[in-house]
Amino acid sequence: MTSSDSPVRDSFLVFGSPAIEEAEIQEVVATLRSGWLSTGPKTHLFEEEFRRYIGCHHALALNSCTAGLHLALDAIGVGEGDEVITTPVTFAATANVIVHHRAHPVFVDIRRDTMNIDPEQIEAKITPRTRAILPVHLAGRPCQMDAIMDIARRHNLFVVEDAAHAVEAEYQGQKVGTIGHITAFSFYVTKNVCTGEGGMVTTENDDWAEEMRLRSLHGISKDAWKRYSAEGYQPYETIYPGYKFNMMDIQASLGIHQLARVEENHRVRERWWHRYNEAFSEMPELITPLEEEGIRHSRHLYTILIRPERLQIDRDQFVEALKEENIGTGIHFTTLHLHAYYRQTFGFRRGDFPNAEFVSDRTISLPLSAKLTERDVDDVVAAVRKVSDRYRR
């Protein structure tokens, strides 16, 4: 696979490198100097700013999107023997949190064009043990939430949205984060809003919001974070054996400014997205992302599918060839039902979810960040074309 000519780039283009600016750096420094590093006033400011941006009633800042999903399943009462319907094309955390509740993940195949869970296949998987549907807005493309919410209403199910990729996303004019019963967002280092590690959970339900806040910090009573403040010692009780899921003010210091630029950065990624579409849409070796009416894509991931029947190499070899051109990529995702734990525990095998496998075998995520320059994007385009030309059948 080694090329005899020079790579497209002299230096490696890291996939998913975040756009961190001076405002974030100064805010973190100010937080360090303040002496209040863990959950405190900046975390609560970030929650309020995020709540206003989404348009929801409650937003709780956490140490990860995974924590948000875990608390959501806690709040709606998922327990041993329950079933939660979700997609196999997602990060392991989506299904892992179901397993952690001693429930069973029930996978439903995706649509090939959207790569999201196929609502038309959901009802066939509903049983008396089904408790919830957990759709994943893959790459930042909203799922068909009208159909999913209709199914949930008719079967008395909860909907917990995995919006790790979807901070800016909207479905039929409604913000993701206000549609399902509870929604979890990610601020991981590669995400559109980045706090290094971190997440947020949103809901309209007052009781769930209070329960999730309580359980997110050891299950100790309200405003426990203030117990070391200038107000002095604050008595507290452990009301529930909770978790250590809280966000730190250091993280929130990043998030405040990342969120302030979220729309500006979305416009930059939108520009790179259309540049990729223009370059790749007429290449017979590739399938480019579907453009849909009625949604706002968050433009988190730009995913192409290779057509192996038109190439002399498979997806993994294509990725390796791009690496030799100094272009970093991602795989989102290797379908979960083919991972060892899920195969061995639940008996899944190849052939169970053909559309998920089709995407899993072919998908490549290209660099898409507000940090990219015009030259970076041109290099990605040149590298993809170079590899496609070299290995075309």
- Residues annotated as catalytic are 191
Which amino acid belongs to residue 52? R
CB 17 within 8 A of CB 371: yes
Chain centroid, CA 221 distance in Å: 30
CA-wise closest residue to 296 among 111, 139, 135, 140: 140
DSSP string of 230-269? Answer: TT------B-S---B-BPPHHHHHHHHHHHHTHHHHHHHH
Q: Cis peptide before 12, with omega less than 30 degrees from 0?
A: no
DSSP string of 169-197? Answer: -EETTEETTSSSSEEEEE-BTTSSS--BS
CA atoms of 136 and 356, how far apart (whole Å): 13
Q: Classify burial at 309, counting beta carbons within 10 Å of its beta carbon; exposed 0-12, middle 13-18, buried 19 or more.
A: exposed
Q: Which residues contact 344 (CB under 8 A, 6 or more apart)?
A: none
DSSP helix/strand/coil, 145? helix
Find the radius of gyration of the CA atoms of the chain. Answer: 22
Q: Which residue has the tokens 């998920």?
A: 356
CB 368 within 8 A of CB 191: no
Read off φ and ψ for residue 105, nearest 5 degrees.
Answer: -75, 130
Neighbours of 207 (CB within 10 A): 9
DSSP helix/strand/coil, 164? coil
Residue 85 bridge partners (DSSP) = 106, 133
CB 380 within 8 A of CB 16: no
Which amino acid belongs to residue 73? L
CA atoms of 389 and 237, how far apart (whole Å): 66
- Report the chain's terminal Cα–Cα distance, integer Å: 16
Nearest 5°: the CA angle 179, 181, 184 is 85
